[in-house]
Structure 1
Amino acid sequence: MTNERILVVEDESIVAKDLQNRLIKLGYQVPAMASSGEEAIKKAEDLKPSLILMDIMLKGEMDGIQAAEYVHSNLDIPVIFLTAYADENTLKRAKITEPFGYILKPFEERELVTAIEIALYKHQMEKKLKESQELYRDLVENQGEGIGIIDQDEKFVFANPAEEAIFGVPSGGLIGRMLGDFADRQKVASILEQTKKRSNGEAESYEIDITRHDDEKRNLLITSTPKYDKKGRYCGAFAIFQDITKRKLMEKELRLKNRDLMIISSIASTINRANNIQDMLKDVLKGAMVLTGADAGAIYLYEKEDKTKMTLQTSTYSTDAGSALSHRSSLPRNFSIDGNKVVYGEKGREHISGLFDEEVYSIYVPILVKGESIGVIVMYTINPVPEGADKSAELLSIGSQLGIAIDNHLMMKKIQDDSRYLSDIINESPDAMLTVDKNGMILSFNKSASRLLGYLKDEMVGKHLSSLLPDGSMPELDETKSYVREFKCSDGSEITLNISTSRLYKDNIEFGFIITLKNLSEIVGLKIAPIKETAVDTEQLYQFDPGFIYLFDKSVDGRYMEIFADQVKHNIQGLCISRKNPKNIRQMYGLEKTPVVWLNSSDSVAGENCIKPDNLTGLTATLHKFLMEAEDGIILLDGMEYLMTRNSYESLLKFIHFINDRVMQSRCRVFFCIDTLALDERQYHILRSEMLEFEDHSNERPLRTRAGQTSH
């Protein structure tokens, strides 16, 4: 977190708030905002911010330029102007305030950061220069700076030790000498011009370059005032000499630093705007070459399949000499570079093993991702790199930014591929799903939703969600929630569905909802009311005690359906769960009222109660409600082999455990019908431990009573 505090001055509240949020996101502090020039001055005086972002065209009596003028004159706070447009007169007025930068609206965050950082840096440097000047002034007042007196013949008649040190002469070494003795010949005329001004009564400061006796070059700032004798006649001048050599070097370094920052900022902006890797590589290479003054350059990246081989991705040149250099398609496999530094090669080809036919000076910049090299920027100059022109820090930053950008591009491509994959998964999902925007307009409609409601995807996308609801109904999309409501099918019928909504986000901004629809029968089961068949006046073939599950081995005895039909025709409430067609069951066994639930993977069958075989939750809920409501009931579970193959033996066993726990507390009994040859011995014995095994003793008609008991 940076300690830099920025005052935002913007009369458009939305723009100001957005700018404040962006600055805070970038790590700056925004202690306050102002919407007028007067308010800006008041808050600047109270808060003393590090920098002010000032809109030029402020409304009110005082515009941004007037406010900036006051800040510049009285508060020494750097100002950056924000502007969408400005005429020539406005720009001329703005220049007078000496702003530290301009940012054109609209702008990217990278441009904002660059302008702020450059302004803060420039202000810091100017502040240092001002402090240096004040220090020199204090030293002069205390005779710490060079002070001299020159007569009307331009000869030194006095020089303090500090001045002698500036000129590199021993004590008394300046007396009788002239300033022109230390200046270049072409500068002598300007010295004479200054002397003339003094004789005319003018005081002035001017800069001049001198060469000392030890051949050192110095930049001097001379402040000279006329000296008069007692009769008021000009007789020479008082002069204060300041050595500003370091200041000049700092100014030069600052100019170069600003230039480098602008280049790096441009490269960063290029990286952020690039739509593809190839364009990004070419633009980054050009920027790096401008930074170093290279004649030619190329970028090589490791191949995805072969991490020992780097191949040419892009190349360019900036001079005619650079155009003559020929690039090879790949670097030698033994080529390597230290990932922590930029390598400046000597003249020749030893560092590149013959990459070029010519001998040149080379610069190698590693491209890094998480500390690992993924390639190299190679640049070449016909002339050697000048001493002091090392740009290692800047180039390492470029290599690191480029590596991250390449990695992000590849990651984004993977995300896009994954997104398409996830989109396909959602479309093929067994759950009915659709997405809508914040206004409820349908964006997608998967296959399961089409099957459930009967609409085609193409006829629903672009319509409002309310088109799926009964007339007059409106969807509830205010928050993430789950609730039950009616939906309208394509055939005009209505179906009760459980609707679950979840918010959708893109770039951390909410843009819609994903809606999952569930048939309530798949969640809470079918509502089956216990009903008795019309009783028959015959003797009941078998009697079964309530509270037990009875195992019918279909491979031994296939009469389980006849026995079930006999039970329900003797005043026992029945429920039949079967893989067989309910219509055939009713016709074959004369069941007019007993409900039959069909285990069927189809979405729906007109006129029949259906449960999908993989919906054990719905089946369990259906049986549980029947067991709770039946006063004296019986349930037939047929098609258990089908359930086991569509789920698993373990799932079927858990289902049996759940049912048995409820049966033991009820007035019901359950027939569990299965071909035991479909089970291995272990599975069979585990099932037997949960139920009683039905055995028919031929003509004796055994009466099953309690566990382990059979009577005749």
Structure 2
Amino acid sequence: MRARLLIVEDEGIVALNIQNRLQGLGYSVVATVSSGEEAIQVAGETRPDLILMDIKLDGNVDGIEAAAEINRLFHLPVVYLTAYTNDETLNRAKLTEPYGYILKPFEARDLCTTIEVALYKYQMEQQLREREQWLATTLKSIGDAVITTDTEGLVTFMNPVAEALTRWSLEEVIGNDLTQVFQTINEKTRAVVQNPVLLALQQGITVGLENHTLLVTKDGAEIPIDDSAAPIKDEVGKILGAVLVFHDNIEKQQSEARLQKNNERLEAEVAKLSEQLSQANAQLRQMEEQLRIEMAQRQCLERELELGLEEE
């Protein structure tokens, strides 16, 4: 499929020459316009694959301003056409993040090469943006809290669950050191627990939190949590950052507390039954002793009766 290009050039002869060259190279030209205002309007209407933008345009909006607005509104790639190479112009142009420059006058081969490189770069960035969007959507939808950092431990992402648990919003913490957001202490000793992300970044391994860890939230609340941190690596093993995944242990603690309470109640009931059984055994022994005494007395009485009968 041929790439669709928009030409923005205020010199008619130059614009026609560029159009003929592009069509000769196999590209499709969706329109040729001569002003920045027209460029913005037509870009929105036609959504070309690439825009060739002359920097110096007649009118109130020059090529750089038009490119900035097109990037803001439509995220379309722009390649500048210019005969100006002064530092001031180039510095202004750089701020719009163009996909290339073509200096006038130019050869058809240079034009084709710059366009193909720009199209490829834009395609790769689109794919990367889509993967990042997919990943962000996935992380936002999972049930655990997730925070990611760069190699310096600065926050790059936080999902809604992490925002809810820490009481911090992503807008408040992005770019900040994770230790300012994720503060943990030992429930029993109250000592500060070392941040697992730092260990994951330093050692390049997955690190879990120790037991009895409390997360100290933005408002000072303390929440029992379990978590682990792992380094984020590229295909060659280079560490690009780290991801921290954690969840609250409140329900687990409540379950453990209920279990402990039930165990204590059961132990009390067992102790009570044991005491009752012990008392019953004591009573039984007393009854057995009494029965032995009564039997002995009866035997004595029977013996006396037998002796009395013999004397008569």
For residue 240 of structure 1, report the CA deviation from its aligned partner: 9.2
Residue 620 of structure 1 corresponds to none
Residue-pair matches, total: 190
Do structure 1's residue 43 and structure 2's residue 42 form an aligned pair?
yes
Residue 181 of structure 2 corresponds to 198
For residue 118 of structure 1, report the CA deviation from its aligned partner: 0.3
Q: Is the 8 A contact 2:6 2:29 kept in 1?
A: yes
For residue 28 of structure 1, report the CA deviation from its aligned partner: 0.1
Do structure 1's residue 95 and structure 2's residue 88 form an aligned pair?
no
Residue 2 of structure 2 corresponds to 3
User: Relative contact order, CA 8 A, sep 6+: which one is greater?
Assistant: 2
Q: Is the 8 A contact 1:57 1:63 kept in 2?
A: yes
The code of the aligned residue for 1:211 comes to: G
Task: Give, in whole Å, the separation in 1 of the partners of 2:178 and 2:86.
Answer: 44
Change (3 A) 1:124 1:240: farther
The code of the aligned residue for 1:41 comes to: I
Write out the 4+ residue segments of structure 1 that deviate beyond 4 Å after TM superposition. Answer: 206-210, 232-244, 246-249
Q: Is the 8 A contact 1:10 1:36 kept in 2?
A: yes
Q: Give aligned-pair identity as a percent.
A: 41
Task: Give, in whole Å, the separation in 1 of the partners of 2:133 and 2:51.
Answer: 25
Runs of 5+ consecutive residues of structure 2 not aligned to the other structure: 154-175, 184-197, 207-214, 239-312
Change (3 A) 1:111 1:229: closer
**Pairing 1:672-683 to 2, within 5 Å after superposition:** none
Change (3 A) 1:121 1:208: farther
Q: Is the 8 A contact 1:8 1:52 kept in 2?
A: yes
The 3-state SS of whatever aligns with 1:231 is coil
Cα deviation, 1:502-559, whole Å, max 9, x if unaligned, reads: xxxxxxxxxxxxxxxxxxxxxxxxxxxxxxxxxxxxxxxxxxxxxxxxxxxxxxxxxx
Residue 242 of structure 2 corresponds to none
Cα deviation, 1:232-291, whole Å, max 9, x if unaligned, reads: 589999999794625999xxxxxxxxxxxxxxxxxxxxxxxxxxxxxxxxxxxxxxxxxx
Change (3 A) 1:77 1:197: same
Q: Aligned match of 2:204 in 211, 230, 251?
A: 211
The code of the aligned residue for 1:228 comes to: T
Residue 228 of structure 1 corresponds to 217
For residue 212 of structure 1, report the CA deviation from its aligned partner: 4.0
Q: Is the 8 A contact 1:146 1:241 kept in 2?
A: no
Q: Is the 8 A contact 2:54 2:63 kept in 1?
A: yes
The 3-state SS of whatever aligns with 2:119 is helix
Residue 245 of structure 1 corresponds to 234
Task: Give, in whole Å, the separation in 1 of the partners of 2:230 and 2:2.
Answer: 39
For residue 88 of structure 1, report the CA deviation from its aligned partner: 1.7
Task: Give, in whole Å, the separation in 1 of the partners of 2:43 and 2:63.
Answer: 13
For residue 147 of structure 1, report the CA deviation from its aligned partner: 2.9
Task: Give, in whole Å, the separation in 2 of the partners of 1:247 and 1:116.
Answer: 31
Residue 136 of structure 1 corresponds to 135
**Pairing 1:51-200 to 2, within 5 Å after superposition:** 51-143=50-142, 147=146, 194-198=177-181
The 3-state SS of whatever aligns with 2:101 is strand
For residue 22 of structure 1, report the CA deviation from its aligned partner: 0.2
Task: Give, in whole Å, the separation in 1 of the partners of 2:231 and 2:47.
Answer: 32
Q: Is the 8 A contact 2:201 2:231 kept in 1?
A: no
For residue 73 of structure 1, report the CA deviation from its aligned partner: 1.1
Task: Give, in whole Å, the separation in 2 of the partners of 1:52 and 1:113.
Answer: 13
Cα deviation, 1:273-323, whole Å, max 9, x if unaligned, reads: xxxxxxxxxxxxxxxxxxxxxxxxxxxxxxxxxxxxxxxxxxxxxxxxxxx
The 3-state SS of whatever aligns with 1:52 is strand
Task: Give, in whole Å, the separation in 2 of the partners of 1:118 and 1:145.
Answer: 41
The code of the aligned residue for 1:73 comes to: R
The 3-state SS of whatever aligns with 2:181 is helix
For residue 96 of structure 1, report the CA deviation from its aligned partner: 0.8
Residue 25 of structure 2 corresponds to 26
Residue 343 of structure 1 corresponds to none
The 3-state SS of whatever aligns with 1:134 is helix
CA RMSD of aligned residues (A): 3.9
The code of the aligned residue for 2:177 comes to: Q
The 3-state SS of whatever aligns with 2:61 is coil
Change (3 A) 1:146 1:107: farther
Q: Is the 8 A contact 1:38 1:67 kept in 2?
A: yes
For residue 141 of structure 1, report the CA deviation from its aligned partner: 1.4
The 3-state SS of whatever aligns with 2:177 is helix
Q: Is the 8 A contact 2:80 2:98 kept in 1?
A: yes
Task: Give, in whole Å, the separation in 2 of the partners of 1:90 and 1:237.
Answer: 54
Residue 13 of structure 1 corresponds to 12
Q: Is the 8 A contact 2:204 2:230 kept in 1?
A: no
The 3-state SS of whatever aligns with 1:7 is strand
Runs of 5+ consecutive residues of structure 1 not aligned to the other structure: 155-192, 201-205, 214-225, 250-712
Q: Is the 8 A contact 1:136 1:145 kept in 2?
A: no
For residue 47 of structure 1, report the CA deviation from its aligned partner: 0.4
Cα deviation, 1:376-397, whole Å, max 9, x if unaligned, reads: xxxxxxxxxxxxxxxxxxxxxx
TM-score by length of 2: 0.52
TM-score by length of 1: 0.24
Q: Is the 8 A contact 1:146 1:242 kept in 2?
A: no
For residue 198 of structure 1, report the CA deviation from its aligned partner: 3.0
For residue 195 of structure 1, report the CA deviation from its aligned partner: 4.2
Q: Is the 8 A contact 1:80 1:99 kept in 2?
A: yes
For residue 33 of structure 1, report the CA deviation from its aligned partner: 0.5
**Pairing 1:291-690 to 2, within 5 Å after superposition:** none
Structure 1 or 2, whichever has the larger Rg, is 1
Change (3 A) 1:146 1:65: same
